[in-house]
């Protein structure tokens, strides 16, 4: 089975690794794949295509049962306007906008955090209420990979912030660990880039914090 991680910062799969996919995706975004002459982008579409087009992918990743498959489509669709918007919005406005000198508005940060908290609460109380994995499943699906990878972006915030946001959601925290275990050792492998970025960002944060502390003492 090809292991997939649809997180845009760390996309690894069995077809081709793309450092720059603008020639493949006219939207200038990752992930994108090339399979022969066929080009495809959008992480969920890619996950579904790989599960459908390649033999040997275990059924639990994208069940052939229509009701189970429909529930997976439902959570993947929900993800776009909820967890993704909250998590990516928060990381963009706190970490990336600052780094890349883009505008970041407090209102945008608050709105993203509000969407994220509401989404984590729905994950805890609805999507994970019936099983270890999403939509009541005992084994992971492509939805677990996609949504856990979205949450993993929060690792770019400070450790304190990341814990403050996630720790109230016990089922979510356990589910992240279960997904990591179910996909080991690939999970850490594809998040290597993220953890390297985390190290740089947290070091910069500490330096800035110390500088400001020194200034306030003087």
Residues in the chain: 218
Q: What are phi and psi of 115, to 5 degrees?
A: -65, -40
Per CB under 8 A, does 184 bind a second copy?
A: no
Per CB under 8 A, does 126 bind a second copy?
A: yes
Per CB under 8 A, does 148 bind a second copy?
A: no
Q: What are phi and psi of 206, to 5 degrees?
A: -65, -45
The number of beta carbons lying within 10 Å of the beta carbon of residue 69 is 14
Q: Which of 55, 67, 100, 216 binds a second copy (CB under 8 A)?
A: 67
Binding region for a second copy (CB under 8 A) out of 75-83, 147-155, 159-167, 175-183: 75-83
CB of 40 to a second copy, least distance (A): 5
CB of 48 to a second copy, least distance (A): 6
Per CB under 8 A, does 171 bind a second copy?
A: no
* Binding residue count for a second copy, defined by CB under 8 A: 31
Per CB under 8 A, does 124 bind a second copy?
A: no
Taking the C-alpha atoms of residue 209 and residue 202, their distance in angstroms, rounded to an integer, is 10
Residues 15-44 that bind a second copy (CB under 8 A): 26-27, 38, 40-44
Which structure tokens are listed for 194? 């993220």
Classify 39 as helix, strand or coil: strand
C-alpha closest to that of 13 among 194, 179, 190: 190
Per CB under 8 A, does 80 bind a second copy?
A: yes
CB of 102 to a second copy, least distance (A): 13
Which structure tokens are listed for 7? 């997180």
Which structure tokens are listed for 51? 């599960």
Per-residue x/- marks for a second copy, 97-116, CB under 8 A? --------x-x---------
The residue (of 105 and 209) whose beta carbon lies closer to a second copy is 105
Query: With the C-alpha atoms ordered 160, 164, 168, 170, is the resulting torsion angle positive or negative?
Result: negative
* C-alpha distance from residue 70 to each of 55, 57, 64, 172 (Å): 21, 18, 10, 22
Taking the C-alpha atoms of residue 210 and residue 154, their distance in angstroms, rounded to an integer, is 23
Summarize as ranges the residues that interact with a second copy (CB under 8 A).
26-27, 38, 40-45, 48-49, 52-53, 66-67, 69-71, 73-74, 76-78, 80-81, 84-85, 105, 107, 122, 126
């Amino acid at each position: 089975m090809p292991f997939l991680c649809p997180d845009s910062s760390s996309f690894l799969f069995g077809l081709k690794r793309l450092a720059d996919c603008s020639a493949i995706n006219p939207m200038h975004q990752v992930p994108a794949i090339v399979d022969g002459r066929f080009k495809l982008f959008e992480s969920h579409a890619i996950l579904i295509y790989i599960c459908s087009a390649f033999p040997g992918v275990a059924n639990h990743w994208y069940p052939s049962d229509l009701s189970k498959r429909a529930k997976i489509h439902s959570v993947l669709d929900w993800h776009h306007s909820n967890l993704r918007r909250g998590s990516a919005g928060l990381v963009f406005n706190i970490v990336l906008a600052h780094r890349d000198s883009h505008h970041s508005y407090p209102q945008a940060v608050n709105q993203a955090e509000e969407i994220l908290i509401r989404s984590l609460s729905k994950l805890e109380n609805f999507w994970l209420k019936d099983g270890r994995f999403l939509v009541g499943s005992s084994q992971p699906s492509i939805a677990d990979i996609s949504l856990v990878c979205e949450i993993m972006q929060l690792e770019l915030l400070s450790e304190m912030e990341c814990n403050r946001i996630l720790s109230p959601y016990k089922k979510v925290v356990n589910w992240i660990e279960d997904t990591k275990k179910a996909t080991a050792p690939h999970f850490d492998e594809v998040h290597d880039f993220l953890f390297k970025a985390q190290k740089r960002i947290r070091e910069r944060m500490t330096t800035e914090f110390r500088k400001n502390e020194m200034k306030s003492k003087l």
